Structure 1
Amino acid sequence: MKFVTEEKHQLVARYHNGESATNICIETGVARSTFYTWLKPYKATHTDTGYRVSAAEFIKMKQHLEKLEQKIEVLQK
């Protein structure tokens, strides 16, 4: 069975809300290895300031920063 992105997000959210990976995988038929692969982009890390950010959030922020830097460069010309 193939899961669309929104379904994956919902399953990951259930895990982050305290449901066990085992229960989610049994209920949905997803292999545990596949489920843990889905979790990787959402694994959080803490910054020096104590802010918690996932890998996916970090990538989005980095892309946003690059766009802003490009806009600043254009405006400074």
Structure 2
Amino acid sequence: MTNKEKRQNPPVGEVEDDDEPDEWEKRISRTGCADEQMTLNDCVYQKKDWRSCQQEMEAFRECWKKQGNDQRTQTQDA
């Protein structure tokens, strides 16, 4: 194997493990609204327009308030 081939094909052992939750996923999980967040993200991804996801946004907003995250993060209602 040439040096050029080695640079193009890194060893398998260097591949990052995607099964472990990253910092963002851990933070969302701690809010108690991870399911609502995922549903909202999926909607926005599928519809390509957040305005089409008002029900999902409201479900996330209600969960956020129910879990007390608005006091913890000093969220302000618009």
TM-score (normalised: structure 2): 0.24
Question: Counting strand residues as a fraction of each chain, which structure ranks higher?
Answer: 1
- TM-score computed with the length of structure 1 as normaliser: 0.24
Greater Cα radius of gyration, structure 1 or 2: 2
Report which structure shows greater RCO (CA 8 Å, sep ≥6).
2
